[in-house]
Structure 1
């Protein structure tokens, strides 16, 4: 597909110090990649003339920017949205979530994941790191929706299907995809033995895939690991070698000074999930300290059963405002750095530094056009601040993933939403009857 965006403000996320962050410009897409980014009307007209068959998209003064990268999610847990609320993590998992999940079929997971993918695409999320069971079923949903994803087959000591069936099937499916990659996800240090963590690392080496896991999400987790191993979760996982190889570590709420140093030295990517951390009363991750100390910090929604939606714009605002109030520093996580966390930094975490999270010639064409036809975008003193602190999922007009338009005029073109809603409702009614 060839696309030509005009009449829009381009927010490329490539600005160096002293350069403008946003400009009135034009963007052209050929195939899977961005072929033109310019503020020069004559250059844009020449490109347009040379691509007479291109589809033209009038931005109507909107903001064209990179698609958002959600670095921690459990997409299929849309089926558990508003199912078990207002309780601590361990009670939530043991008494509600895991019994529900034990009754899910692969088709249930497929339906839940498709609902999650639809929600995210409509909200401008073009890439996601997902962590769940039966990720081969999640693959089907993501592939159909037209999203980009790193799908990580999850396991814990009592659920080791990832090694026997889930991961091999997922890897095989991903081999033929330009958008979807496989990964592995041990649930956490407190649910996976050292033996099974090592087994996971060996599987990652064998298949050449990345790993993600939960780390130091709650004080209960920290206490359990200290009692078992005499170390913090970060220290313990580091002793096993889990933190090597570009690990994506979700949460990282309760960290010592030594933990932060280890994360920086090992090149760990942190997926910050502030809304979930607030809702479950896990605490506030020290993101400003991690970020300024050189750790790559990104943004994730966590699952829709602990959030309870997948709105990355809300997640970004919560990430920034929590750091400001807990550090008592209004300059903590400023607007442009916040947008970098959800684009540039997220792209680096999933192995696409320079190819995703930016609007530049040669980069993969994952783009979002925000409509600014809302009162809260005006006046526009600072477009970056408008996007970081005002934008909402409902503002997303157009979404391009891998060069294909998947959201057009605010409508998702790849999924029959009414039918999907009915299937999701039927699935949860059946599961509820079995509990």
Structure 2
């Protein structure tokens, strides 16, 4: 059965299907339909057209949403939903080392179903349709909470640590690392939405990162990794010293750890982790050389600006990323390091602090995220054949 919704304006974002530096690029609104209609069958978009064309071609009535602007549903490219119970519990504003010390005790506690439900409900309410979620302890609970709200999510099983006995055999798939939790997922989740992510260059064996990336590549899944997030990471990798090195030596690093004496981005490139199917998260501390590497490799950068500010790790060079033509997406990180999971608030931060226009922000929130996660056939634009999900553009945009 066909239904239809009508709005004052529809931003299809179809003209943003190209790379950020071609055609209209980051800075305009292509394919605006004034007084537009979306025809759908509840799950799939059947048509997107003007009201006048709709009146000629369809004999059904359209539900009038009023004086609103519709945009494609949003895609949150980096989250840790299993940490939703940690809202407001960590120490903020004093740097990564202080934050992680305060957060670790809470990270070990069980996932709270009520907090998880509240977090997903908030995301749905604000127009998010898909979530790239880093997980390891509660994939089944997260997947159930997300799908209950008619959303979808990638479950990124996070490779962490240095103790991987099966590295010698070259096997490091999700089924090898997390057999019980993978088995608990529905078959659809395992076939479509399961992938691997590396925690970070400092916290995960380089051999494990390489094999995890290879698994993602051979299974045509995207790979993500926290990269160049805070100053302690840079000091550890380049010099092997600092407070962060001391922290990791107590919990994570092997006794024979030797720093690569390279910055994070060049080191990731050296390991073969960066390419068009990699999502580099944070990228706060990037030099011009780092930006060139990211651009030339085709790596997508996921910005989490409010998390970076709240923890106190610095500010990513967003304008430099844009000028270099990097593919940018946006994530909210988690309630352990953010006030909320509202992607519009991340966009407001970028707009207010970097003077980023709405067209560019919408690209980051929609089609760029769909491209990075490999779901452009389902989401990213308001187009025929795609899932019937949309967001309402806030009035201040």
Shared fold per TM-score greater than 0.5: yes
- Cα 1:172/1:266, change in 2 over 3 Å: farther
Which residue is equivalent to 1:132?
135
C-alpha displacement of 1:172: 7.7
Which residue is equivalent to 1:97?
103
Q: Which residues of 2 match residues 234-313 of structure 1 at below 5 A?
A: 234-313=265-344
- Given that 1:76 and 1:111 are in contact with CA atoms closer than 8 Å, whether structure 2 keeps it comes out as no
Q: Which residues of 2 match residues 279-428 of structure 1 at below 5 A?
A: 279-324=310-355, 333-353=356-376, 355-369=378-392, 377=395, 386-387=396-397
Does 2:50 align with 1:39?
A: yes
SS at match of 2:329: strand
Counterpart-to-counterpart distance in 1, 2:118 and 2:207: 35
Which residue is equivalent to 2:212?
200
SS at match of 1:187: strand
C-alpha displacement of 1:85: 2.7
SS at match of 2:32: coil
- Cα 1:32/1:322, change in 2 over 3 Å: same
Q: How many pairs were matched up?
A: 357
SS at match of 2:109: coil
Which residue is equivalent to 1:222?
234
C-alpha displacement of 1:35: 1.2
Counterpart-to-counterpart distance in 2, 1:300 and 1:229: 29
Counterpart-to-counterpart distance in 2, 1:194 and 1:136: 28
- Given that 1:4 and 1:57 are in contact with CA atoms closer than 8 Å, whether structure 2 keeps it comes out as yes
SS at match of 1:203: helix
Q: Which runs of 5+ in 1 are unaligned?
A: 325-332, 378-385, 388-435
- Cα 1:110/1:2, change in 2 over 3 Å: farther
Q: TM-score, normalised by structure 1?
A: 0.75
- Given that 1:148 and 1:179 are in contact with CA atoms closer than 8 Å, whether structure 2 keeps it comes out as no
Root-mean-square deviation (Å): 2.7
Which residue is equivalent to 1:5?
5
- Given that 1:153 and 1:184 are in contact with CA atoms closer than 8 Å, whether structure 2 keeps it comes out as yes
**Structure 1 residue corresponding to 2:116, chosen from 86, 93, 113:** 113
Q: Which runs of 5+ in 2 are unaligned?
A: 16-22, 165-171, 240-258
- Cα 1:82/1:263, change in 2 over 3 Å: same
Counterpart-to-counterpart distance in 1, 2:346 and 2:192: 24
**Structure 1 residue corresponding to 2:221, chosen from 209, 220, 234:** 209
- Given that 2:84 and 2:112 are in contact with CA atoms closer than 8 Å, whether structure 1 keeps it comes out as no
C-alpha displacement of 1:296: 0.3
C-alpha displacement of 1:46: 4.6
Which residue is equivalent to 1:431?
none
SS at match of 2:226: strand
- Cα 1:179/1:11, change in 2 over 3 Å: farther
C-alpha displacement of 1:252: 0.4
C-alpha displacement of 1:71: 0.9
Q: TM-score, normalised by structure 2?
A: 0.81
SS at match of 1:176: helix
Counterpart-to-counterpart distance in 1, 2:113 and 2:286: 35
Which residue is equivalent to 2:148?
144
